[in-house]
A = this chain, B = another copy of it.
């Protein structure tokens, strides 16, 4: 026996569903060289199972604010585990950038939390919000 479990190759709709993105997004990723696909004789895209993970990684990096240009430079080596010193620097730089972003978000969150706490404790609740803060005194 072959030992190979033959199943129909994953098409774009299935990948989109499994990865939680739109079909359009996947074609866009391919356009940006973020995601490759084999083609059936009739031209339909075919993906390996691992594509689900890859798409989710792409999403994660997008969510971290990386543009596709940066991602496309990082992805190949990330997948193979091979990396150049230059790329390593880049990865570290992005990690640091994300750290800063986290710090900024934390302070924003804290500021929001203080506002909430203060407002709740003071029970400054139930007034009508002023629609607009007027111009400053001369």
Contacts and interface: CB of A to CB of B under 8 A. Distances in A.
Contact of A47 (B94, B105, B130, B136): B136
Contact of A94 (B46, B112, B125, B132): B112
Interface string A122-133: 101111111111
Contacts of A125: 82-85, 88
How many copies of the shown chain assemble into the complex? 2
Q: Chain A binding site: helix, strand, loop or mixed by DSSP?
A: helix
A124 B73 CA distance: 17
B61 A108 contact: yes
A63 B106 CA distance: 11
A66 B72 CA distance: 27
Given A38-B135, A38-B136, A84-B126, A108 B63 contact: yes
Contacts of A61: 108
Per CB-CB distance, the 5 closest pairs between chain A and chain B, nearest first, are: A85-B134, A48-B136, A38-B135, A83-B119, A86-B131
